Structure 1
Amino acid sequence: MLLIILGLALWIGAHFLKRLAPDLRARMGNSGKAVLGVMIVLGVVLMIIGYRGAEYVELWPKVQALVGINNLLMVFAFYLYAASGMKTAITRKIRHPQLTAIKTWAVAHLLVNGDLASLVLFGGLLAWAVVQVILVNRADRNWVRPAPVPMSREVMAVVGALVVTGIVMGIHNWLGVQPWG
């Protein structure tokens, strides 16, 4: 559990630095990007190792009916992430599609994982994404909606989301976690 918490601390610290300590971040210059990148990668590695090694402490039972909802939410999360880069139609409605993707991903995982390690990991990342949206919105209250883009980008984002979902489900299966229920 300690590794999960340390990983979250590195992830959150690296992501919040720009918003909470902009002068420090500015003084770090371009080399600061590398430092923050290493912090983020190390944080992810620690979260994964910590999660895989955490003792299972059930807080609520798994509800089989929620597995399908989890999977649909995961497709939507991957779509949001793809849409953020491609500036599809949904980015004209959702200001922070990547952070919304993280929140969707976290909620989906909390629906089907009722253990303490999952609550700490996914709940921690959900809380980070919520606070990050608040901080970004406070720093820049004016949102300029992206211009409309061709429907082909929408199709590419949906296809990309389905492909990535299949790959991630395959990786979960390979790791011994059955994402299909």
Structure 2
Amino acid sequence: MELIGLAIGAALFAITHLVPGIPSVRAGLVRSLEEGPYRAAYSMVAIFALGILIWGYASAPYIPLWDGTGAPRHLAFLLMLVSVLFLVLGVTQRNPTMAGSDGNTGGPGSMRAVGVLKITRHPVMWGIMIWAVAHILANGDAATTILAGTILLVGFVGTRFIEMRKRRAVPVSWAMFTATSSYVPFAAMFSGRAKGAFGEIAWWRWLVALAVYAALFAGHRYIAGVALY
């Protein structure tokens, strides 16, 4: 009962993010509401669900599950560096898998895997999922596991829905895009299908990512109320 508010928030967050992501459901909603009103309505619902999730987390008691210090903490620091790299590299590069790109499909060849997209075609979502894993490891409590676990689940299932929708909407362009990219980070590079990824990432993007990581590390006590050093 102590975690009921958080559980309700987690369920609401998952349902409101995943159900509209089902290709057939999303297509029906867009036909009924049209694209603009659908996006506006979805944004309001998503913000409301996120607010309930945050409220549930803030009001949840601390229930330890394991010791998050030592090795889990150091691993979390490393994972957070990878997370920030994916997030910054992803948001600073145009990506046909991102929200709002559905109508920007063009013809065959309009989707190209460049830079970080050769590492993974979902860098931002992987950054969020890795963030979730890092915080589950480092915090080691029930509330964080529910919160971050829900975000991890939504990120994983949501990206699969995106892939299904793109594959149906623009099969030729999507096939060309996936030929030199991968869902799992580095899989296409290890298989030899994606070469030169690191050389295609501008140096300033690396610097911005490292600066963001340093700022988050130094300011974590002000952001989350917990000092990391």
Q: TM-score, normalised by structure 2?
A: 0.66
Larger Rg: 2
Corresponding letter in the other structure for 1:35: A
Q: TM-score, normalised by structure 1?
A: 0.81
Q: What do the CA deviations read for 1:61-102 (whole angstroms, capped 9, x no partner)?
A: 223222222122112112112222334623113121122111
Change in 2 beyond 3 A, CA 1:150/1:116: closer
- From 217, 220, 224, the equivalent of 1:172 is 220
Q: SS where residue 140 of structure 1 aligns?
A: helix
- Same amino acid, percent of matched pairs: 24
- From 34, 37, 43, the equivalent of 1:31 is 37
Offset of 1:15 from its aligned partner? 3.1
- From 183, 186, 202, the equivalent of 1:154 is 202
Q: For 2:54 and 2:201, how far apart are their aligned partners in 1?
A: 32
Offset of 1:6 from its aligned partner? 4.0
Q: What do the CA deviations read for 1:35-67 (whole angstroms, capped 9, x no partner)?
A: 221222223333223222210111112232222
Change in 2 beyond 3 A, CA 1:62/1:53: same
Structure 2: where are the runs of 5+ without partners? 94-113, 168-173, 182-193
Please say if 1:62 is aligned against 2:110.
no
Q: For 2:207 and 2:55, how far apart are their aligned partners in 1?
A: 31
Alignment of 1:44-123 (within 5 A): 44-87=50-93, 89-123=115-149
Offset of 1:170 from its aligned partner? 4.2
Q: SS where residue 124 of structure 1 aligns?
A: helix
Offset of 1:119 from its aligned partner? 1.2
Point out 4+ residue stretches in structure 1 off by more than 4 angstroms: 145-153
CA RMSD across the alignment:
2.8
Change in 2 beyond 3 A, CA 1:56/1:149: closer
Q: For 2:76 and 2:11, how far apart are their aligned partners in 1?
A: 26
Q: For 1:90 and 1:78, how far apart are their aligned partners in 2?
A: 13
Matched pairs, number:
180
Q: For 1:49 and 1:172, how far apart are their aligned partners in 2?
A: 20
Corresponding letter in the other structure for 2:122: H
Corresponding letter in the other structure for 1:127: L
Structure 1: where are the runs of 5+ without partners? none
Offset of 1:149 from its aligned partner? 8.4
Q: For 1:93 and 1:150, how far apart are their aligned partners in 2?
A: 9
Offset of 1:131 from its aligned partner? 1.2
Change in 2 beyond 3 A, CA 1:159/1:130: same
